[in-house]
Structure 1
Amino acid sequence: MSQTTDRGGRRIHFLEHGEGEPIILVPGLGGGARVFGTLPRRFGRNGFRCLSVDPVGLPPSGPLPDGEFVFDDAADDLIAVLDATGVERATLVGTSLGGKTALTAAARHPERVARLVMLASAAYTSQRARRVYSFFQTIAEKLEPTEFAVVVAPFLFGRTFHQNLPAVVDDIIRATRPTADARALMQSQAKALRSFDGLSLCQAVRCPTLCVAGLEDTLTGVDEVRTTAEAIRTAEYLEIADAGHTLLLESPATFDAVCSFAAARS
């Protein structure tokens, strides 16, 4: 079901699937609800009320005020989705940049976040990570839509996924054509990522947290995810073998781990 809510003039679009324990899926750089594919339905079939969000800046959500992505605003938008659906507390599942948004929400609104899952996401920004974000900002600005996925696919997916499912990778490359809105959002998000410092946010997190690293991830380092888990006193750390940056797509074990963690009682 497609829904829209408004927070102070910010129009937020989201999709809802299933019934049960509420979870919100928070997409990564330049992405929206559609990047999760069939995953929201799978969560719905596994006993969850799954809400997947289109960030402000990416239609059908409204435009970014002044074209600037701000993590605090994006985090508050997640809480607005909870308000719109009558949900008091939910598990936030964020991938990459979405993990940082979810972390920000858990720190700013601890009473609304039951559990936190950060997939291929780190709380601090190393110099190497800043170079990665600059790379994405540049290609979002310079590349043609047909070129984008060809360039980023080697980094998004792990070696095993490339080896075992080359036809799937080819299909994703052919289907990925970032719109002008998506590329503009990606540039703004990449700029915000370069100055993100979430270590102080980690100290404010009260809820059970799961930090998951793919051992074949070339974008977010395993050490960066592990350091994040160590900074959150309520966190568990999990490594997934044979998977890269797109953990939920590449690894059934990641989906199972998220379901088990989100269904657990505190």
Structure 2
Amino acid sequence: MPFVDRPDARLYYEVHGTGTPLLLIMGVGGNLRWWGSGFVRKLAARHTVIAFDNRGAGESEAHPTEPWTIEEMADDAHAVLQDAGFSRAHVLGYSMGGMIAQELALRHPEAVDALVLGATSCGGPQMIQAEDVKREMRSRPTDLAARAEWYMRLFFPEEFRAKNEAYLRGAFRLLLRADMPEAVYQAQLDAVERWQGSWDRLSNVTSRTLVMHGLSDRVLPYANGERLAYRMPGARLKLYAGCGHGFAMQAGAAVLRDVLMFLGGEAAKEDR
């Protein structure tokens, strides 16, 4: 199992497939398993997919004795890419992973080819998030079943939950068997809150960019995606009707198609 050592962390990663490299960066509370085996397998049919566990998540080893930052997690991602033997890759970041991806593109522009930002924000004062959602994000239930229900409410609109309740409950209970320590989860949220954001620097991103967002996202409303696309030169924006923060699970086939088309150089259909 490949690991890369950082000054205060040991990061686990996996490599799948062949082709142009594609680095996946997961969000708060998740690990590389949260991408879904089918999603990774289909991406790996065209790309060399490098997926890793953020510090303290999954198989990675780290304890937040000092505050973590989005910037150092971007350097983590860069270290994983280099250890896997690649100097440059496409990058797909989801939620907090999209923030990390932005910093990666700004701190290590030579390492980022195309950039895909899903359900994320530029952070800082320009980030849009309701206060009640911020409080809810800080209060994960300790019981496994209750935590699965909590994620379902946060990530998906009521109508989708009602139609897919059994599937979603089973999926989250399975994912949460390898859940991260609460201290790590809170440290990730702290890093997002402390991040000064990328708004003033987004025009410096040279990578061609696709921004993807669910129109019914409660965690980070779709206006965050609109702001990113507006601020980044030539960025494309793809919005998914009826989809929440977990838009990639709700509209999996469409999301996979749009990502592969964009990475392959084809224009994803804009839906502003």
TM-score normalized with structure 2 length: 0.88
| 1: CA distance, partners of 2:85 / 2:176 | 35
Could you tell me which residue of structure 2 aligns to residue 168 of structure 1?
167
Q: Does 1:254 align with 2:255?
A: yes
Report which stretch shifted further, 188-197 or 59-68. Answer: 59-68
Percent identity over paired residues: 25
Could you tell me which residue of structure 2 aligns to residue 155 of structure 1?
154
| 2: CA distance, partners of 1:265 / 1:215 | 23
1:145-167 CA-to-partner distances (Å, cap 9, x unmatched) read: 33212122112123453244232
Cα pair 1:203 1:232 within 8 Å, conserved: yes
Could you tell me which residue of structure 2 aligns to residue 244 of structure 1?
244
1:237-262 CA-to-partner distances (Å, cap 9, x unmatched) read: 11112321112222111111111111
Provide structure 1 residue ranges, at least 5 long, that are not aligned to the other structure.
none
Q: Which amino acid in the other structure matches residue 222 of structure 2?
A: V
Aligned CA RMSD, in angstroms, stands at 2.2
1:74-130 CA-to-partner distances (Å, cap 9, x unmatched) read: 101111111112212111111111110111101111111001111010113446356
Q: How many residues align?
A: 262
Q: Which amino acid in the other structure matches residue 214 of structure 2?
A: G
| 1: CA distance, partners of 2:63 / 2:204 | 27
Could you tell me which residue of structure 2 aligns to residue 222 of structure 1?
222
Could you tell me which residue of structure 1 aligns to residue 212 of structure 2?
212
TM-score normalized with structure 1 length: 0.90
Could you tell me which residue of structure 2 aligns to residue 138 of structure 1?
139
SS of 1:177's equivalent?
helix
| 2: CA distance, partners of 1:220 / 1:176 | 22
Provide structure 2 residue ranges, at least 5 long, that are not aligned to the other structure.
268-272
Structure 1 residues 129 and 179: CA distance shift in structure 2, 3 A: farther
Q: Which amino acid in the other structure matches residue 102 of structure 2?
A: L
How far did 1:265 drift? 8.0
| 2: CA distance, partners of 1:117 / 1:244 | 18
Could you tell me which residue of structure 1 aligns to residue 270 of structure 2?
none
How far did 1:217 drift? 1.4
| 2: CA distance, partners of 1:263 / 1:114 | 12
